[in-house]
Amino acid sequence: MYTQSFSTADADNKPGPQAVVAPINAETAALMAHFDAVIDADGKIEPRDWMPEAYRKTLVRQISQHAHSEVVGMLPEGNWISRAPSLKRKAILIAKVQDEGGHGLYLYSAAETLGTSRDQMLDGLHTGKAKYSSIFNYPTLNWADMGVIGWLVDGAAIMNQIPLCRCSYGPYARAMIRVCKEESFHQRQGYEALLVMMQGTAEQKAMVQDAVNRYWWKCLAMFGPPDSDSPNSAQGMRWGIKRISNDDLRQKFIDATVPQAEVLGVTLPDPDLKWNEARGHHDHGAIDWDEFWATVNGHGPCNKERLATRVKAHEQGQWVRDAALAHARKQQQRQQKEAA
């Protein structure tokens, strides 16, 4: 059993330790080759499969950021539940916010399969170390913001998330299938709410236009920095985590949204937005990336408020977690007693 590790230099003058290291390297190389073959064949990597540490780390980063975005995303909309203009709109908004909480739960569970605990992830969020989508650091100032979040924010999210249903990591891809179905309802309810407002008074129409003006550029930034400034893209694409680049998704979103804005009767606040026949796409104006990075790095208009609200909700929910654990312990004791 220990012969290899005790081996000494052989007749070929190879030093002893190589005999120990070589089989390990060969084993790792074989595992790596198998992993690469699965990725190249567009297969799925599952939690118990071997994977390079960097792949694991990248997934934990992206999935936990995604989960944090879902739960922080509940806050700007949650602010409007008590002020919804009708019982119907209130019921829809409550259901939507609840869905976002559910998405956070599927995603935290998917990330946990990679060996990082939920407590570790939440600690990263609550101490301000972890990122979440920049879009939720802007205020929701009027009721039309609820419609615009559904139409544009969920619309951008779906554009980004449909390709994630084909992500190489099985649990993430499967979670995304359900998330996308629900997001698609969210997008349509937002658009429908805006269509109704656009048939209303001049004041209601102005509210919709104002919300579009404030959210349009922030939604374009949701897709992440330009491909030339995206440090994680090349490796993410190689591993089949990302399927379409940040800039290509942004372009797809713009091309899909322009005709929707026309039907709605709103103007998108970009004088440079126009169809380019030669490219077969819309050209658009410059995105303010300095503002984006300032927001991502904690200096947006609502970063402090969002984090403080999230931490407070977590602390005030401690008794619920304690009660659930106590209940689970009691059930386990009862089962053990019955089995004895």
Contact residues: ligand BYC, CB under 6 A: 61-62, 65-66, 69-70, 73, 100, 131, 133-134, 153-154, 157, 160, 221-225, 230-233, 236, 242, 246, 296
Cβ 96 vs Cβ 66: under 8 Å? no
CB of 144 to ligand BYC, least distance (A): 16
Give which of 136, 178, 128, 138 is closest to 158, Cα–Cα. 178
Nearer to ligand BYC, 125 or 157 (CB): 157
Nearer to ligand BYC, 231 or 280 (CB): 231
Give which of 86, 77, 93, 96 is closest to 200, Cα–Cα. 86
C-alpha to C-alpha distance for 73 and 69, rounded to whole angstroms:
6
Amino acid at 203: E
CB of 149 to ligand BYC, least distance (A): 6
Nearer to ligand BYC, 92 or 221 (CB): 221
Please tell me whether residue 283 adopts helix, strand or coil conformation.
strand
How many C-beta atoms lie closer than 10 Å to residue 151's C-beta? 30
The residue number with the shortest CB distance to ligand BYC is 73
Nearer to ligand BYC, 69 or 209 (CB): 69
Q: Residues with Cβ < 8 Å from 71, sequence gap 6 or more? A: 100, 101, 104, 125, 310
CB of 37 to ligand BYC, least distance (A): 24
CB of 188 to ligand BYC, least distance (A): 13
Nearer to ligand BYC, 70 or 112 (CB): 70
Please tell me whether residue 289 adopts helix, strand or coil conformation.
helix
Alpha helix segments (H runs only) across the chain = 16-40, 53-78, 87-112, 118-126, 144-148, 154-161, 170-198, 202-221, 233-238, 246-264, 289-294, 303-316, 318-339
Nearer to ligand BYC, 131 or 205 (CB): 131
C-alpha to C-alpha distance for 60 and 57, rounded to whole angstroms:
5
CB of 209 to ligand BYC, least distance (A): 21
C-alpha to C-alpha distance for 145 and 153, rounded to whole angstroms:
10
CB of 206 to ligand BYC, least distance (A): 24
CB of 127 to ligand BYC, least distance (A): 15
CB of 89 to ligand BYC, least distance (A): 16
Give which of 161, 169, 178 is closest to 43, Cα–Cα. 169
Nearer to ligand BYC, 121 or 222 (CB): 222
How many C-beta atoms lie closer than 10 Å to residue 177's C-beta? 13
Nearer to ligand BYC, 205 or 252 (CB): 252
